[in-house]
Amino acid sequence: MAHVQDIEIPDAAARVARAKDELSDIHDEKMVLNMGPSHPATHGVLRIVLELDGEVITKADPDVGYLHRGDEKIAENMTYTQFIPYTDRLDYLAPLANNVAYALAVEKLLGIDDKLPPRCQYIRVMCAELARISAHLLGLGAFAMDTGAVTVFLLTFTEREKIYDLAEAASGARLTTSYTRIGGLSRDVPPTWVAMVRKFLKEFEVALGEAETLLTRNRIWVDRLRDLGVISKEMAIDYGLSGPNLRGSGVEYDRRKKAPYLCYKDLSFDIPTGSVGDCYDRYLVRMEEMRQSMRILAQCCDKIPGGATNESKEPVSIQDGKITLPSKQKVLSSMEELIHQFMLVTEGVNCPPGEVYFGHENPKGELGFYINSRGGGVPYRLKIRAPSFVNLSILGELLPGTMISDVPVILGSLDFVMGESDR
């Protein structure tokens, strides 16, 4: 008769102690291992130079910049609207959220962020939350695959495909959405969109439950993640971590609650936090964030002004010829609108001189845009505060003392994306 065999998996600290013990008779033989920039577990082009004592890491030096495209320099050379497509390519797992973040930053500079039409605000929130689910799903799938659970990857990618369909229905593109405009959206969502979101939520709940069943109480998964890569509260704040990595360490800081923008004030949702700050906590926080995003989406579906089909013709852009493009029909029939269109397209939105910082709660953390304007339609300086860049800087302190097989787990739990880190 077959019987269940108990397997013994030591915790992270015991694994390290055992590996050190095995090497106790060999002294001072350090090896330098170059991991990346094209390593499957580094999720892009992160390179880490590891110094190893046997299997234990003694020093880690992350090297970023392989995907540097000079986005900040490019931004100084074009109008505010022209830069929107570049934001798609920052965190390319959540382009809709980047679009929303950038548009809000420019609107803050213009002083119109509280004048956005309610329908626009709701659609933006829905886009940001769909992007959050999409990014967390990829993070989770890749994380699980690096740890040996390939099934989860297949599950999450099926669901991500549905989010791509939603993005395509709204904006016309799956990845390069460029959906927002300064002062609104490029267009309203199609009448069937809200029903599509509802259908997605129904199916996604099942899939997320399945993924959770596969992982959350899975012995191997828990043993590999628990007590590994522990980031204390103080360390997380000191290193400027943001997003799920900060909340995984027990700091309840979420831009949606602490500096509410759009219509987040009218929606009810909770901010999950961890208690230990290990890889398992960060995993749990992301899982719960997806559930909270579903809550937000369901509320938005019910409350969206104008309803699904928008029969009352609620606007999705600010009706101001100096900020958003007038309708084509008006451009061709009225002199003033024609001039507005010409000025907006050639000169850009005329922004006042000044400086603003806007931090948006992106899936990876706080995506901040600092805009230094000297007036006119082009930023004098645009700085992108990329959450992945800041989150990665902790690696040099987090990795030493762990084993080389723990590196993919820690990297997966930090969930970064290099397009954003390198800009």
Partner 1 sequence: MSALELANKLKAKFGELIAEPMEFRGEISLKISDSAQIHEVCNFAKRQLGLDYLVDITSVDNYGEDPRFTIIYHLRSVAANIELRLKTDVSEEKSEIASVISIWRTANWHEREIYDMMGVRFSGHPDLRRILMWEGYPYFPLRKDFPLAGKPTDLPNVAFTKPAPLEGGPFVTVAEKADSTAREPRVRNPEE
Residues that bind partner 1 (CB under 8 A): 64-65, 68, 70, 72-74, 76-79, 82, 108-109, 111, 237-240, 251, 253, 258-259, 343, 346-348, 354-357, 359, 366, 368, 370, 372, 378, 380-381, 383, 385, 389-390, 392-393, 397, 422-423
Measured from the CB atom, the residue of 73 and 187 that comes closer to partner 1 is 73
Paired tokens of 284:
């749990």
Q: Which is nearer to partner 1, 68 or 303 (CB)?
A: 68
E strands, 152-216, in order = 180-181, 184-185
CB of 117 to partner 1, least distance (A): 20
CA distance 388 to 386: 6
Instruction: Tell me whether residue 303 or residue 374 sits nearer to partner 1 (CB atom).
Output: 374
Q: How far is the CB of 375 from partner 1 (least distance, A)?
A: 11
3-class SS at 86?
Answer: helix
As measured in angstroms, the least distance from the Cβ of 151 to partner 1 is 36
SS3 137: helix
- Own/partner long-range contacts of 251-259 (Cβ < 8 Å, ≥24 apart): 254/361, 255/359, 255/360, 255/361, 255/366, 256/361, 259/359
Q: Which is nearer to partner 1, 205 or 320 (CB)?
A: 320
What is the smallest separation between the CB atom of 256 and partner 1, expressed in angstroms?
13
- The minimum distance between CB 218 and partner 1, in angstroms, equals 33
Residue whose token pair is 């609107």: 107
Closest CA to 303 of 113, 117, 118: 118
Residues linked to residue 10 through DSSP beta bridges, in sequence order = none
CB 89 within 8 A of CB 387: no
Least CB distance to partner 1 at residue 111 (A): 6
To the nearest whole angstrom, how small is the minimum distance from the Cβ of residue 412 to partner 1?
Answer: 21
Nearest CB to partner 1, comparing residues 158 and 350: 350
Q: Where are the alpha helices (DSSP H) in 2-117?
A: 12-22, 71-75, 84-88, 95-110
308: which DSSP letter?
Answer: T
Side chain identity at 31, as an amino acid letter?
A: M
* Cβ-proximal residues to 151 (8 Å cutoff; 6+ apart), any chain: 144, 214
In what helix (H) or strand (E) does residue 382 lie, and over which residues does it extend?
strand 381-385
- Nearest approach in angstroms of CB 314 to partner 1 is 27
Q: Which is nearer to partner 1, 182 or 300 (CB)?
A: 182
Whichever of 69 and 202 has its CB closer to partner 1, that residue is 69
C-beta closer to partner 1: residue 226 or 381: 381
